[in-house]
Structure 1
């Protein structure tokens, strides 16, 4: 098999959301588009990223958005919204305990379900690590949108980088134990340049340069994954 049908399945980073001038917008040069360009017309790359999705929502739409399209390769990039918080509630009740939107145990169970479903149609699932974030700019963005009271909660309960790192480590251990193909975009992204150039002002979403870096990272794994697809067929 020389041609691949690749589905990029995930959240706003897959969709191509960026944040500039205090507004979210979708850029045309997102990572699936750039990946398609790098691979050429022999392969087909399909973008199935949705803004603000988490692993619960991916499980709900995997049949329609992935399985029914009969892909060869599914790049699963999810987790940043799972380990995030309902910041409006944190701002309202900064003295209370708050838990991530999708608890870690359910996040890992969702990943297991997604992988099993992709495997069930003979496609190859590939898990992308969480993209790194810029916590300082993220908190600045949050406090502009909500309230400085979240700063008290963050200092008391640990910042988002604590939760982000925890989920990523758990995901890394999960793929190691299960043998699922993975792309460590987190480490590779950090080697691509400074966060001020690769991550936008919200501290979460890639800049145009960041999306190019992400596509380049993923593209370097495609030859190896192409071989795995052939073996899997």
Structure 2
């Protein structure tokens, strides 16, 4: 399974490499992961096989109204959950566990834009920060993704979902900064909307994931079905327009 592989090769224990508030922290501006051998393993064993499946599906369905794109949080929005949250709508999931802004950018045309969607929902960035990517690099990649979408069709609606809280302290420190950027991009860019979920999914008095959204088995990065119900509630008014 893609998620099992991704979790096995992403090292979430080395906090100094992703603690943006550590005085010794140095952001990572290179392609891929800090551990290049594991990144190559991920690309070969998870990213490429998933894209091949998507290519086959795209040939079959040819067109869809809405595409969800992003990392494992999108990928785990399973078909039955999507059908429940968006009944009767043409919604297609093109998330890949482990995806970063740079890898999503490289596959936008073949995986997503080829379906000529009217709306694209994007949740991305968490894996960049796991790797300690430079914030400016992640921001520029996100802008390039939007530019690529609108260069294809300037009328395509783009919905940027806030990166939600996790149970990883270092991510919960930097993610709100990125979410502020996403909000600003939406406020200053035509046909881009920001969907706030951080505040709804965090503990009332702490910047961490609320207990009701925690998945079993010690998963500190993802959330459970209740989280997707919240996403559905937030997104339905936009996708039904």
TM-score bracket relative to the smaller structure: 0.5 to 0.7
Bigger Rg, structure 1 or 2: 1
Is 1:37 aligned to 2:84, yes or no? yes
**Does the alignment pair 1:189 with 2:201?**
yes
Poorly superposed stretches of 4+, deviation over 4 Å: none
Partner of 1:198: 213
On the 8 A contact 2:126/2:171 being kept in 1, the answer is no
> Whole-Å Cα distance in 2 between the matches of residues 67 and 105 of structure 1?
25
| Secondary structure of the corresponding residue to residue 187 of structure 1 | helix
What is the CA distance between 1:10 and its match in structure 2? 0.4
Change (3 A) 1:56 1:7: same
CA deviation after TM superposition for structure 1 residue 133, in Å = 1.7
Q: 1:160 to 1:40 in 2, by over 3 A?
A: closer
CA distance in 1, matches of 2:84, 2:185: 31
Cα distance 1:208–1:38, how it changes in 2: closer, same or farther (>3 A)? closer
8 Å CA contact 1:8–1:76 kept in 2: the answer is yes
Q: Note the residue ranges of structure 1 that are not aligned, 5 or more in a row.
A: 17-29, 86-99, 137-158, 227-233
Task: Work out which structure has the larger RCO, using CA pairs closer than 8 Å and 6 or more positions apart in sequence.
Answer: 1
8 Å Cα contact 1:32-1:215 kept in structure 2: no
TM score, norm. by length of structure 2: 0.63
Is the contact between residue 71 and residue 100 of structure 2 (CA under 8 Å) also seen in structure 1?
A: yes
Q: Size of the alignment, in residue pairs?
A: 170
Structure 2 CA distance for aligned equivalents of residues 189 and 220 of structure 1 = 19
The one-character-per-residue Cα deviations of 1:15-69 (angstroms, maximum 9, x if unpaired) are: 00xxxxxxxxxxxxx266433333322x211000000111000001001011111
Secondary structure of 2:160 counterpart: strand
Q: Check if 1:7 corresponds to 2:67.
A: yes
Consecutive unaligned residues of structure 2, counting only runs of 5 or more, are: 1-63
List aligned pairs for 1:18-37, cutoff 5 A. Answer: 30=77, 33-37=80-84
- Alpha-carbon distance between aligned partners in 2 of 1:37 and 1:208, rounded to the nearest angstrom: 11
Match of 2:186 among 157, 175, 178: 175
- TM-superposed CA distance for 1:199, in Å, is 2.4
Report the TM-score, using the length of structure 1 for normalisation: 0.65
Q: Report the alpha carbon displacement of residue 211 of structure 1 after superposing the two structures with TM.
A: 2.3
